[in-house]
Amino acid sequence: MPLAEKALIAQIRRMAKPANSVIRTGIGDDCAVLRLLPAQETLVTTDFTLEGIHFRRDWHPPESVGHRCLTRGLSDIAAMGGEPVAAFLSLALPRDLPQAWVGRFLRSLISLAEKFGVTLAGGDTAESPNGILADIIVVGKAPKGHAVLRSSARPGDRIFVSGELGGSAAAVLQMRTKPKKKVNPRDYRRHFYPEPQIELGRILREKGLASAMIDTSDGLSTDLAHLCEESGMGAELESVLIPRASVGKPAREVDLDLALHGGEDYELLFTARPGKRIPAQIGGVALTHIGHVTRGRTVLLSNLKGVAYQLEPRGWEHFRR
Ligand code: ADP
Ligand code: MG
């Protein structure tokens, strides 16, 4: 087995030294930030969608797989406050896959792309020895010097999260623990058809509200740990403030553990300098104050009684022991 995902990326990062001055930020943020044009930064992100890891054909309709595939990339652009421009799709498909599956996957992916003014501008196609593999690359843009990084949080910044957390993981939990019960994607839209927060990210960047930002793809505990590590900071969260999603039928609020560690909600987690006034919502998306940045290098979570525990990153990690 390779190193755990985080250690492996750290090793790659040490090996891949910057070879030119075009790269503002390379490995370590939601997107690479390239300075190819005088007034603009170019954003690039790439994400796998693998059968058996990110989706199952018996759980996910092809429309959901196509939608989530592109959302992974769009969400990384949103996390920089960027505007997406073009997407590239590399597909490896098993020989026995019905063409109808591919058509439904593509129509869904392309209709989401059109909704955000993104052109599918290339990719690669191959036969897969086993299972469906899709890699999405999204290219976006932001005004020079304005892409919002993970690494710029400072002590005293307040921490905010958009929307609600844990709703996507709740669907996976439901499907895993009750395999016989049919899950209706309509009751778990946050899992099957998550909304990339492009508009919100752009407005936070334009108004200069976010000092640092990341999207919640791996889970709050893990994504906040990434933001803190890149900034060389720590954080304190209050458990009562964490906005928990209500999902299922009848809808019920997810447990705190799912909101803290469940991945794939694709919300925005950002920090704001002490003086900035952050509205309660932007464009209908709620913004919740959940804690603040500290010098401590660890993430603490205080409960109702005010007792603080260290919050271990227990979100998604590939090759975790
Ligand atoms: P995200 O969840 O936002 O997609 P990841 O946690 O997957 O980000 O990756 C963290 C950082 O590591 C990103 O900057 C990503 O581009 C980089 N990265 C991940 N895998 C590799 C790899 N195999 N080679 C080079 N960089 C990588
Ligand atoms: Mg990300």
* Residue 321 scores a pLDDT above 80: no
Nearest CA to ligand 1 atom 24: 12
Strand 83-93 and strand 133-143: the pairing is antiparallel
Q: What is the pLDDT of residue 316?
A: 83
Is-contact 303 256, C-beta < 8 A?
no
249 CA to centre of ligand 1 in angstroms: 36
Where b means 16+ CB within 10 Å and e means fewer, 158-180 reads: bbbbbbbbbbbbbbbbbbeeeee
Q: For all residues of the chain together, what is the average pLDDT?
A: 96
Between the CA of 227 and the centroid of ligand 1 the distance, in Å, is: 13
Give the count of alpha carbons within 13 A of 220, CB side only: 36
Q: Whose CA is nearest to atom 5 of ligand 1?
A: 30
Structure-block tokens of residue 55: 């989706």
pLDDT at res. 221: 97
Q: Is the CB of 217 under 6 A from ligand 1?
A: yes
Q: Is the CB of 137 under 6 A from ligand 1?
A: no
Ligand 1 centroid, distance to 77 Cα (angstroms): 13
Ligand 1 pocket: which of 14, 27, 139, 317 to mutate (most atoms within 8 A of CB): 27
Q: Where are the alpha helices (DSSP H) in 44-98?
A: 62-78
- Other beta carbons less than 10 A from residue 94's beta carbon: 13
Q: How far is the CA of 78 from the centre of ligand 2 (A)?
A: 9
- At residue 320 the predicted structure's pLDDT band, cuts being 50, 70 and 90, is confident
Q: Does residue 27 line the site of ligand 1, with CB under 6 A?
A: yes
Q: What is the pLDDT of residues 201-239, one digit of tens each?
A: 999 999 999 999 999 999 999 999 999 999 999 999 999
Determine what percent of the chain is predicted with pLDDT higher than 90: 94
Is the pLDDT confidence value at 243 over 90? yes
With the most atoms of ligand 1 within 8 angstroms of its CB, the residue from 5, 9, 224 to mutate is 9
22 CB less than 6 Å from ligand 1? no
3-state SS track over 265-305: CCCEEEEECCCCCCCCEECCEEEEEEEEEECCCCEEEECCC
Query: 29 CB less than 6 Å from ligand 1?
Result: yes
The rounded distance, in Å, linking the Cα atoms of 314 and 309 is 14
List the residue whose alpha carbon is closest to atom 19 of ligand 1: 9
The pLDDT of residue 258: 96
Higher pLDDT, 39 or 19: 39
| Nearest residue to 218 (alpha-carbon basis) of 229, 231, 209 | 229
Nearest residue (by CA) to ligand 1, atom 26, is 27
Residue 113 Cα to ligand 2 midpoint, Å, equals: 18
For residue 319, pLDDT over 90 is answered with no
> Of 264, 261, 259, whose CA–CA distance to 246 is shortest?
259
For residue 45, the model assigns a pLDDT of: 98
